[in-house]
Structure 1
Amino acid sequence: MPALRKYPDELRELAIREVRTTGRPIAHVAKDLGIHEALRGWVRQAEADRGEHDDRLTSAEHDELRHLHWENAELRRANEILKAASVFFAQEIDRPRTRPSR
């Protein structure tokens, strides 16, 4: 489920387009639109997505990284369950067997 966003996507796109096309400072556009400093991050992310910034992950890379972190956590949990199960079964095998009396 996608995270809830404080600002609609249309506002983001409008604000980013305003900064890029007018050349106005980000702070001025943000103040005019009432979005404060959120715009700076949006502009930087849009630039990274277009390949203009090598120091920041693109949105696709960020999504992939988030998925890999989630998958890694799932695999760690599964590994812990398997370790616990192997300990349990190893104890069962080592337990001496007694024959039922007749």
Structure 2
Amino acid sequence: MNKLNKFSPEVRERAVRMVQEHRGEYPSLWAAVESIAPKIGCVPQTLLEWVKRAEVDAGMRPGTTTAEAQRIKELEREIKELRRANDILRTASAFFAQAELDRKLKS
């Protein structure tokens, strides 16, 4: 399920920085990305995603930042664990309540 990252964070940062520094030399962002991507060894779409992610993280583009996305993921995981614990407790409570009723009836 986890995807293997072929590029280190340093390479990603360097590639994004190159696009941002040379963006004015090209007619569009896509043209800059198409020119720089082969130098890094990735496909242009991947580099464009890195640039967009960096812009969101820097507040230059609307969207969910990497830190916010990580926090949301952690909270969703915690909710899932709490729901599982509640189900276990609910089942155990019902089991012990039934056992208590059975015991009273036998007396």
Fold agreement, TM-score > 0.5: yes
Q: How many residue pairs align between the two structures? A: 96
Q: Whole-Å Cα distance in 2 between the matches of residues 75 and 4 of structure 1? A: 30
Q: Whole-Å Cα distance in 1 between the matches of residues 3 and 67 of structure 2? A: 16
Q: Percent identity?
A: 38
Provide TM-score, normalisation by structure 2.
Answer: 0.81
What residue number does 1:21 align with?
21
Q: Which has the higher contact order (CA 8 A, sep 6+)?
A: 2
Cα deviation for residue 39 of structure 1 reads 1.1
Supply the AA of the counterpart residue of 2:106. Answer: R
Supply the AA of the counterpart residue of 2:94. Answer: V
Q: Whole-Å Cα distance in 1 between the matches of residues 35 and 89 of structure 2? A: 56
1:58-97 correspondence runs (5 A): 58-95=65-102, 96-97=105-106
Provide TM-score, normalisation by structure 1.
Answer: 0.85
| Structure 1 runs not aligned, ≥5 long | none
Secondary structure, counterpart of 2:79 in structure 1: helix
What residue number does 1:47 align with?
55
Cα deviation for residue 76 of structure 1 reads 1.0
**Cα RMSD (Å) of the superposition?**
1.7
Supply the AA of the counterpart residue of 1:85. Answer: A
Aligned structure 1 segments of 4 or more residues deviating by more than 4 angstroms: none
| Structure 2 runs not aligned, ≥5 long | 27-31
Task: After superposition, give the CA deviation of every residue in 1:27-66 in whole Å (9 maximum; x if it has no partner).
Answer: 2211221111221111111101111111x21111011111
Secondary structure, counterpart of 1:82 in structure 2: helix
